[in-house]
């Protein structure tokens, strides 16, 4: 898990208003940055190096909501990182300031040339630009890395296009990581992210069945677009800045009610009231799929076995930093 970052800050861009003078002149890393994975970390590294050479600060420019959600609202994107988490992770990657451009159909209709000249060079006064090889923008996605390079050369603004970033011989992408999570392969997803994938939420009241079973759980309702595979996972939960080992179930509880999916985490060797508290749950390893049991004794026996296996896995997993 990544270490504590420098303070993260966000500035939401208003097309009709200028930005504070002190925020102008940064080297900008451009992208959606969903997941803030190893490939995104490479963009951040290149932006920091360019900024150091030019005596400038470095920042990210991203879009919210995800453009696909605007154009295909009936097919919501499985978001790896909600906006606040994305900003936090970008700061950990060395980009403490994130400019957020509210994305809608009006923004999508802006000509690519105007996007570069009026927003990037004009409003933001970019000292340099860094983007991935597949970054496209503007009306009809006509803006491309090659167009950015040409526009930058004409304006005297350096542009660096980062080629595909591979890890273990495979190009890293948000789509790849989403697919792994949909398969329950959280351990492999962590390799491409550079840290375990985690969710953040506020502990909600559940049906209190866990107490009766000897496994009181902290319940989180995940985003509706979450397509993590239903099943049992070895996890760690961050409570008040401290990581605790545990085991979690994500799914619809087929033994009981087949209800709306939620993440139910049993934290080992912990006592305390978590209701209403914001926590992070990092998924470390898949244990098994969700199953329906004929009775409570069989369910409890399986929960005992799951807990023992999770404890063993986590005892061999390096501790997470705050």
pLDDT for 113-122, tens place per residue?
999 999 999 9
pLDDT at residue 81 is higher than 70: yes
Cα separation of 10 and 35, whole Å?
17
Confidence of residue 282 (pLDDT cuts 50, 70, 90): very high
Q: Assign a CATH topology to domain 196-315.
A: Elongation Factor Tu (Ef-tu); domain 3 (2.40.30)
pLDDT for 210-256, tens place per residue?
565 668 899 999 998 999 999 999 999 999 999 999 999 999 765 55
pLDDT of residue 200: 96
Are residues 217 and 266 in contact, defined by beta-carbon separation less than 8 angstroms?
Answer: yes
Q: Residue 92 burial (CB < 10 Å; 0-12/13-18/19+)?
A: buried
Closest CA to 310 of 282, 276, 291: 282
Q: Is the dihedral of CA 221, 223, 225, 229 positive or negative?
A: negative
Cα separation of 227 and 180, whole Å?
10
Are residues 261 and 222 in contact, defined by beta-carbon separation less than 8 angstroms?
Answer: yes
| Domain spans, the chain | 9-167, 196-315
**Which two tokens mark 79?**
């978001």
pLDDT for 85-108, tens place per residue?
999 999 999 999 999 999 988 888
CA angle (281, 6, 273) in 5-degree steps? 30
Cα separation of 67 and 55, whole Å?
33
Q: For the chain, what is the mean pLDDT?
A: 92
Q: Assign a CATH topology to domain 9-167.
A: Rossmann fold (3.40.50)
Give the pTM: 0.91
pLDDT of residue 295: 79
Cα separation of 213 and 153, whole Å?
66
């Amino acid at each position: 898990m990544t270490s504590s970052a420098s303070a993260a800050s966000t500035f939401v861009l208003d097309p009709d208003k200028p930005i504070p003078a002190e925020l102008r002149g940064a080297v900008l890393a451009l992208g959606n940055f969903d997941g803030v994975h190893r490939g995104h970390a490479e963009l951040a590294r290149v932006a920091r190096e360019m900024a150091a050479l030019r005596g400038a600060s470095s920042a990210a420019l991203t879009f919210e909501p995800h453009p696909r959600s605007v154009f295909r609202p009936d097919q919501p994107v499985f978001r790896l990182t909600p906006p606040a988490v994305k900003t936090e992770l970008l700061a950990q990657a060395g980009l403490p300031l994130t400019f957020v451009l509210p994305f809608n159909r009006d923004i999508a209709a802006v000509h690519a040339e105007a996007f570069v000249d009026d927003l990037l060079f004009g409003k933001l006064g970019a000292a340099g630009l860094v983007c991935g090889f597949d970054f496209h923008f503007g009306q009809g996605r006509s803006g491309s890395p090659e167009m950015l390079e040409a526009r930058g050369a004409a304006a005297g603004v350096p542009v660096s296009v980062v080629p595909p970033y591979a890890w273990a011989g495979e190009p890293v992408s948000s789509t790849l990581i989403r697919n792994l999570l949909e398969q329950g392969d959280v351990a492999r997803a962590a390799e491409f992210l550079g840290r375990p994938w985690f969710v953040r939420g506020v502990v909600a009241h559940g049906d209190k069945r866990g107490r009766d079973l000897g496994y009181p759980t902290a319940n989180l309702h995940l985003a509706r677009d979450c397509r993590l595979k239903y099943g049992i996972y070895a996890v760690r939960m961050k409570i008040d800045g401290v990581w605790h080992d545990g085991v979690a179930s994500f799914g619809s509880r087929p033994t009981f009610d087949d209800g709306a999916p939620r993440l139910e985490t049993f934290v080992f060797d912990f006592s305390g009231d978590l209701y209403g508290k914001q926590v992070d749950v990092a998924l470390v390893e898949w244990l098994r799929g969700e199953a329906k049991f004929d009775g409570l004794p069989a369910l409890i026996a399986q929960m005992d076995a799951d807990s023992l296996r999770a404890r063993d896995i986590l005892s061999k997993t390096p501790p997470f930093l705050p």
